[in-house]
Amino acid sequence: MKVRGEDQWVVFKLGAGLYGVEINFVQEMTRLIKINHVPNVPPHVLGTMLLRDRVVPVTDLRLRLGLPSQDDERRELVDMLTLREEDHLKWLGTLETAVREKMEFALTRDPHKCAFGRWYDQFETSDLLLESQLRKFDDPHRRIHALADEVLSLEAEGREGEALKRLAWAEEHLLKVLVNLFQNTRQMIMDRQTRICVIMERGGRLVGLVVDEILGVNRIPAGDTEDLPELASEARGGFIKGVARTDGGGSRLVLLLDAARLLNDAEQAAT
């Protein structure tokens, strides 16, 4: 499907991807308020919301495009952080066993090479509060891993008692800080919900599309867009009609959605 003309597009995030809809279909953008559930509708239809005395059907755009729900992503992240917390509890226990029994300690001493460190180094988020919370892991996580060289050196010098005292101190202080960070971060992730409802309008009828975050309004000339192969478009339910690069040649791609088709689909699904 060709993308014609020079249009302004509302660009938003769904998961890690960027998407856009033509601004002339967008009436307003608002935080998702109370949803009234409707029986016997597809899973992507969340229900209806009341907007200035008008009933607006609401669609979860993630689900309609075949993406994981935001709730599923949050639970997956929380579960991963639980496993990484358990990793570090086991790590310190294994280190203590190595000192007491004079065994080889085979676990990684590099904070960038454990499973949490590898995830941490590549994770990106636009949530400034979550980013600030994650930065708090830097110091205690690095110091926990540095502990291995310190206590194993003491043990090698025959100073096992000092090594065990150092481990006991680390368990009471460093590990406790790290465990609290994991717990607080999981709670923050579950408590925070940043979904935005894009109110679309056509012919006097309103439909709400739930997205993760609005990034802005971009002017995208037709010359900066490309058509998608039919199979690629169908992979998102046939709702994608083109692709463009951010800032007229930036490194990130924006998938351009067929707003008219989305409106038709949302109206039919809610009836």
Point out the least confidently predicted range of 17-31, 71-85, 214-228. 214-228
pLDDT of 236 above 60:
no
Task: Label residue 201 exposed, middle or buried (CB < 10 Å: 0-12, 13-18, 19+).
Answer: middle
| pLDDT at 39 (0 to 100) | 87
| pLDDT at 248 (0 to 100) | 53
Give dist(CA 20, CA 7) in Å, integer: 11
pLDDT of 2 above 60:
no
109-114 contact pairs (CB < 8 A, 24+) = 109/145, 109/146, 109/148, 109/149, 110/145, 111/141, 111/142, 111/144, 111/145, 111/146, 114/87, 114/88, 114/145
What is the CATH number assigned to the segment(s) 70-191? 1.20.120.30
| pLDDT at 187 (0 to 100) | 96
pLDDT of 105 above 90:
yes
| pLDDT at 270 (0 to 100) | 64
225-226 and 240-245: which strand pairing? antiparallel
Three-class secondary structure of residue 158 per DSSP: coil
Q: Angle at CA 12, nearest 5°, toward 242 and 207?
A: 85
Give dist(CA 103, CA 185) in Å, integer: 34
Give dist(CA 230, CA 242) in Å, integer: 10
What residue ranges of the chain are covered by domains with CATH 1.20.120.30? Answer: 70-191
6 or 7, higher pLDDT: 7
CB 148 within 8 A of CB 95: yes
pLDDT of 234 above 60:
no
pLDDT of 67 above 50:
yes
Q: Judge if pTM exceeds 0.75.
A: yes
CATH class, 7-67+195-269 region: mainly beta
- What are the DSSP calls for 208-227, one per residue? EEEESEEEEEEEE-GGGEEP
Give dist(CA 105, CA 11) in Å, integer: 50
What is the chain's mean pLDDT, rounded?
88
pLDDT of 171 above 90:
yes
Give dist(CA 145, CA 175) in Å, integer: 11
126 or 46, higher pLDDT: 46
What residue ranges of the chain are covered by domains with CATH 2.40.50.180? Answer: 7-67+195-269
